[in-house]
Homo-oligomer: A and B are copies of this chain.
Amino acid sequence: MDKIELTEEEIRIWNMWKGSFKRIFGRVVKDMSEHTGLSEGDFGVLDRLVQFGDGKLRQQELADSMGWDKSRLSHHLTRMEKRGLVRRKQSDTDRGVQVIITSAGKSGLDEATPIVSKAIRKHFLDQLADQDIESITKLAERTKTSSSLSSKDSPP
């Protein structure tokens, strides 16, 4: 029979880890949103549109690259469309929908990118020691989903 209860020490580890993430991630997102009005999701969408699609992507591809389901993306795009960051257009070739970044979306992204970089460096990278990099890498490897449907990489 395995032991179940966590020791005080184990609980502290868990809480430190959870707390560190929420603090750091919250600071990065806050720096971005306060300066640009973009949320984490907004940035992810816009960044992928230019990185992987030269400004446009089919909705399902975008969802896959974000690791989002179609419903979540649909709701989010509706809000982004309302703010003029993207627009949707029925694809001519197939029966999908093209998501296209607007000029407003592009300038929002251009404005946000250096702010996000600076924030990630300040709140995260500058706080890491060399051995932390290895810990992060190993933990990511050990917990990755086997069937690598991993969302493509793009900060934040």
Q: How many copies does the complex hold?
A: 2
Q: Which residues 113-127 of A sit at the B interface, judged by CB distance below 8 A?
A: 114, 117-118, 120-121, 123-125, 127
A129 is an interface residue with CB less than 8 A from chain B: yes
Q: How large is the interface on A (under 10, 10 to 19, 20 to 34, 35 or more residues)?
A: 35 or more
Contact B25 A18 (CB under 8 A): yes
| 10 smallest beta-carbon distances between A and B, as pairs | A16-B140, A135-B135, A15-B153, A132-B135, A21-B21, A20-B140, A127-B142, A6-B117, A17-B136, A20-B139
- Residue positions of A touching B, CB distance < 8 A: 4-6, 10-21, 23-25, 114, 117-118, 120-121, 123-125, 127-129, 131-140, 142-145, 150-151, 153-156
Q: A13-B125, A131-B134 are in contact. List 9 more A-B contacts (CB 8 A).
A: A6-B155, A16-B139, A17-B21, A17-B140, A18-B25, A20-B143, A21-B21, A23-B144, A132-B139
